[in-house]
Amino acid sequence: MRRSTRMALGAVCLWIGATLGAAGAAASSRIAGQIAGLQIAGLPAAPAAPAGGHSAGTLERVREAGAVRCGITPSGAGLAAMDEAGHWRGFFADMCRALAAAVVGSTEGASIVEIGTENRFSVLREGSVDVVMEGTTWTLQREASLAVAFPLVYMFDAQGFMAHRSVEPPTLAAIVRSSQPASVCVVEGTTTVRNIEDWVARTGARLTLKRARSTEGALGAFFNHHCDLYTGDRVGLYAQRAQAAPNSDDYRILPEVISREPLAPMVRNDDHVWFNIVRWVILSTILAEEKGVTAATAAQRRLDGDMETQRLLGGVPGLGQGLGLDDEWGWRVVTQVGSYAEIYDRNLGQSSPLKIDRGINSLWSAGGLLYAPPLGW
């Protein structure tokens, strides 16, 4: 059916309702419903719900269960790793706790489910988790074809390389020029593989790819000298070196990068309310940093901050409107988990063993890429 025809029939429905009163209104409603069910020629139909029938209602399920199920891949110290007591620690784990604080009232409502790079998409689509919080790169292909959606970027990264200190040459530029072949361990089923394949084709580097099905497998092969290099997201390289290396001083992170890796949480694409909640919970940590609010200063800033700060912290109404949450959710995120600066600093930054500079993960006002839209109209 042509779009113009469809619009004309819609107008006829309105005329029927206006002219014939209540009976006409009922008839026009039935006709309009039938028209709405027709697909316009040349345009794709609305996407079907993912296999398994897990459509919408994530917020309701989470509230009923009293827990947010976060799929997390063990990514190394500072990102996602278990401590000696069996508790998950790291940047991704804290983002899960922020979501739990907002939705179910407490960080204790964060139920972390260990997943892997090989099953992260399927466990989400099947409804085994409510959100994936790990180092998944946001791409068009994934969002358009895997029935998943990426609410925002919570870490801007790039693909880098880790090398044995005993292996020469020390830079990628030298590797490209070298006549000696080198090998690199890489995790299959990731953007990392495609990036390194493209880089080899572009530069002519004599580099042999050794593929593993898991991060643990690739790292194990590298640390056991089956590869000269290991490649992955650069922040992750620091985390994995600290977590898994036999002696972290025996390995160096090369200075060059070969790609851009916008890392994002991942949700199913059939629940726009849940998509918005995940997006705004993380944005609230960024806005808190921009407003100079920390977990320690939140109580005072709720009273004397500007209007947007007070709204973020529940001092004035309206923050929960449209999200299906109460107005205190931002207060709980900041007081229980902290601002983005606090989350980054204790896990990856200067208060952590890794001491990774913020770089482009700084606020826009400090030369970075982090930016939170306004809360108001």
Q: What is the pLDDT of residue 56?
A: 58
Check whether domain 58-155+264-366 has CATH 3.40.190.10, yes or no: yes
Q: What is the pLDDT of residue 52?
A: 39
Q: What is the pLDDT of residue 118?
A: 87
Q: What is the pLDDT of residue 40?
A: 29
* Long-range own/partner contacts, residues 30-35 (CB < 8 A, 24 or more apart): 35/6, 35/9, 35/10
Q: What is the pLDDT of residue 309?
A: 98
Q: What is the pLDDT of residue 26?
A: 40
Q: Which residues contact 11 (CB under 8 A, 6 or more apart)?
A: none
CA separation for the pair 366, 364 (Å, rounded): 5
Q: What is the pLDDT of residue 101?
A: 98
Among 346, 348, 110, residue whose Cα is nearest residue 240:
348
Q: What is the pLDDT of residue 166?
A: 85
CATH of domain 173-258: 3.40.190.10
Which tens digits make up the pLDDT trace of 245-295? 999 999 999 989 999 999 999 999 999 999 999 999 999 999 999 999 999
CB burial of residue 27 (10 Å; 0-12, 13-18, 19+):
middle
Q: What is the pLDDT of residue 5?
A: 38
Q: What is the pLDDT of residue 179?
A: 78
pLDDT in 10s for each residue of the chain, 377 residues:
433 433 333 433 333 344 334 334 344 333 333 333 333 233 333 333 444 334 459 999 999 999 999 999 999 999 999 999 999 999 999 999 999 999 999 999 999 999 998 899 999 999 999 999 999 999 999 999 999 999 999 999 999 999 998 877 678 888 777 778 889 999 998 889 999 999 999 988 888 999 999 989 999 999 999 999 999 999 999 999 998 899 999 999 998 999 999 999 999 999 999 999 999 999 999 999 999 999 999 999 999 999 999 999 999 999 998 999 999 999 999 999 999 999 999 999 999 999 999 999 999 999 999 999 999 87
Share of the chain above pLDDT 70, in %: 85
Polymer length of the chain: 377
Whether 138 and 150 have beta carbons less than 8 Å apart is answered as yes
